[in-house]
Chains A and B, each alone.
Chain A
Amino acid sequence: MALLEAKDLHVGYRTFEGYLHVLNGVKIEVDEGERVGLVGETGCGKTTTVKTILRVLPMPPAQVQGGEILYRGEDVLRMSTHAVRDLRRREITAIFQDPLQALNPMFTVGTQLRDILKDSKAGRDGGRLTKRDIEKRCIVALQETGMPDPERIMTNYPSQLSGGMRQRVCIAEALSREARLLLADEPTTNLDVTIQDQILRKLDELVDEKGTSVLMITHSMGVVRDLTQRLYVMYAGSMVETARTKELLACPRHPYTQGLMKSVPRLTGEGISEGIPGRIPNYLEPPSGCRFHPRCEHVMPVCKEAIPPFYAVDEDHFAACYLYRS
């Protein structure tokens, strides 16, 4: 059984202009100990997906229209608030893009880390941790992220730290409770490449050590290549392709993924393609059928009629495109 499984998820937002139908049948599976990537461009619904899984999406305006999110077979969407809080406390943890928003500017790093551990019920027999244990664990958590001088960092406020340091604090917070599943939503997008490289390597090490499952959301193809085993590509609220990461990047099958991969600038310097014509659809009146059809060069009549299911194109490689129907 998969650790996390989202099935046919439909989420939208009620706004003044009308109903925005954003997630259109999202499906994700994360197995125990697996690392899964989710890539897509701005506005394709990546963050909405994560927030729905964590049940932190403000409702209203958001609205779950259908589908289920199974965590160990239990539907997260139908759990009581109390049970969800318990899940977030013990099982699922997250790192977000902007550490300045994730950290409270009014409290020191130490206070915030301690609060999380106090609440974590990670002590013996699911009880609370003792004060000394908390202190020790905070220091260890910070040390693990490669932070020099953790005792001093504990007394600092987030504004006193650099962007890379703040993100390390967030990682320490996320991993301090030995959660089973880590949702990382663009954890390094705001950082410089050299810092990104350090953080990703550290994250890779820690996740490996603790055996945490990861769902990594990003718009950068390069980032997922090193860090994940399997990859989902998302476009306009639904998954268009999934396969093992390296295979998907080397030979993409869905026309959207193909266009996307061609426009990624390469170090080998063979030039950049023109990209994909058009832009991401308006969610007020999304295109019928496959949402990519207005931008697709292989469009067929059937594409406008029904949402394509996943067709197997290779071993462990699926594309939601009618080109692979036979």
Chain B
Amino acid sequence: MPESILSVEHLKKHFPTKQGLVRAIDDITFSVAPGDTLGLVGESGSGKTTTAQCVVGMYPPTSGEIRFKEEQIGTAFKRRPKYVKGDLRIVFQDPGSSLNPKRTIKQILSIPLKVHHIGTQHDRLARMKELLNMVELPADEYLYKYPQAIGGGEKQMVALARALATNPSFVLLDEPTSALDVSVQGKIINLLIRLQRELNLTYLFITHDLSLMRNVSSRVAIMYLGKLCEIAPTVEFFERPIHPYTKMLLSSIPVVSDAEEALKPRKAISKGEIPSPVNIPPGCSFHSRCLARNGRCAEDDPAMVEVAEGHFVRCHAALESELSGHGPA
């Protein structure tokens, strides 16, 4: 495995509630190589946002390790060194609620600069203009506007500029375009890809949209009920999906052309609903909806196994058929 900038090992995050223990993240392990984009995909309630929140330190993990550039950061946010906070940033889903409506864009952008003691007051203004230019917003026009005066896509660009203010090397993107229309999404996505190249950024890109993932990420991780099912390089992932849940997801995507239709697995018809995270089914948590399940699935939880280079799968049935040489059912 290549050297990684972020590695998460056996991470768990449990929330005690009145209904019982919610296992939002239940033992996940993954790593992101520098300059890469790891796409984390899952349905609502699968724990992808909680993962992001643990990584940026909004929640302390229940157990497990988060290492960022070889530094242990899986502790309380307060004890996290400040330079890590500047180096690892997050962009949230809804720019309407992540930007303070009472502050101008200049004020919004100046906060990270002040907190991280970047430049003098004079330098900061120049830096803010530079940031806005970086996200393709004309600085003189936008600096003194309020968030309500600009469109959703532009707000998200400001949120991105704010994340880039401290010159981070790692940016967590938590569904950055799912609140936007497709015609606006294209612009943001291309901007993200360009900035990644220019500033040598590493992304952890969280989304529920697999078609988008195909175009953005270099590796894909699928999450289901707090656990990872499958991790693979993007091209391999879409050409040879192995986990039954992955196939179900892929076959459920509405597509717009025949060429795409041909890529979808045929037999994996979606059934059932994601169970409540309070009572996760025993064994493999997906077995209640699985089309390929066998006797073992309800009893023991499968382990993550590498089936091809960089392609990890956590499924009994798929592994058995993989070993016997046939494609999985």
Interface residues of A (CB under 8 A from B): 41-42, 162, 164-165, 192-198, 200, 219-223, 225-226, 249-250, 259-276, 279
Is there an interface contact between A194 and B183, defined as CB atoms closer than 8 Å? no
- Chain B residues with Cβ below 8 Å from A164 are 273
Check if B320 is an interface residue, CB within 8 A of chain A: no
Contact of A194 among B151, B186, B214, B249 (CB under 8 A): B249
Tell yes or no: B200 within 8 A of A by CB: no
Which chain A residue has the least Cβ–Cβ distance from B189?
Answer: A272
Chain A nearest CB: distance from B280 CB in Å? 16
Counting chain A CB atoms within 10 Å of each CB, which of B183, B189, B190 scores highest?
A: B183
Q: Counting CB contacts under 8 A, is B270 at the interface?
A: yes
Contact across chains for B190 and A272 when beta carbons are under 8 A apart = yes
6 more A-B residue pairs beyond the given contacts A197-B252, A198-B271, with a C-beta to C-beta distance below 8 A: A193-B208, A193-B249, A193-B252, A220-B254, A221-B256, A268-B257
> Which residues of chain B have C-beta atoms less than 8 A from A42's C-beta?
181
Most chain B CB atoms below 10 A, which of A192, A198, A276: A192
Residues of B within 8 A of A162 (CB): 273
A-B contact count (CB 8 A): 124
Residue of B nearest to A44 (CB): B181
Determine the distance from Cα of A180 to Cα of B241 in the docked complex, in whole angstroms.
42
Q: List, in ascending order, chain A residues with CB within 8 A of B151's CB.
A: 279
Query: Are the C-beta atoms of A263 and B182 separated by less than 8 Å?
Result: yes
A265 contacts B215, C-beta separation under 8 Å: yes
| Residue B209, interface by CB 8 Å | yes
* B:311-328 near A, CB below 8 Å: none
Q: Is B43 a contact of A193 with CB atoms below 8 Å?
A: yes
The 4 closest A-B pairs by CB, nearest first: A222-B254, A275-B186, A197-B252, A263-B186
Task: State the CA gap A41–B152 with chains docked (Å).
Answer: 13
**Chain B contact residues, CB within 8 Å of chain A:** 43-44, 151, 153, 181-187, 189-190, 208-212, 214-215, 234-235, 238, 248-260, 263-264, 270-271, 273-274
- Judge whether A265 and B214 touch: CB under 8 Å: yes
With contact pairs A164-B273, A193-B208, A222-B254 given, residues A41 and B190 touching in the complex (Cβ less than 8 Å): no
The smallest beta-carbon distance between A111 and chain B, in angstroms, is 24
Kindly identify which residue among B44, B182, B187, B252 contacts A264, using a CB–CB cutoff of 8 Å.
B182
CB of A272 within 8 A of CB of B185, answer yes
User: Are B255's CB and A198's CB within 8 A?
Assistant: no
Residue contacts A-B, CB under 8 angstroms, 28 given: A41-B182, A193-B252, A194-B43, A194-B252, A196-B252, A197-B251, A197-B270, A198-B270, A198-B271, A220-B254, A221-B254, A259-B183, A260-B182, A260-B183, A263-B183, A265-B209, A265-B211, A265-B212, A266-B256, A268-B259, A269-B214, A269-B235, A272-B190, A272-B212, A273-B190, A274-B187, A275-B182, A275-B185
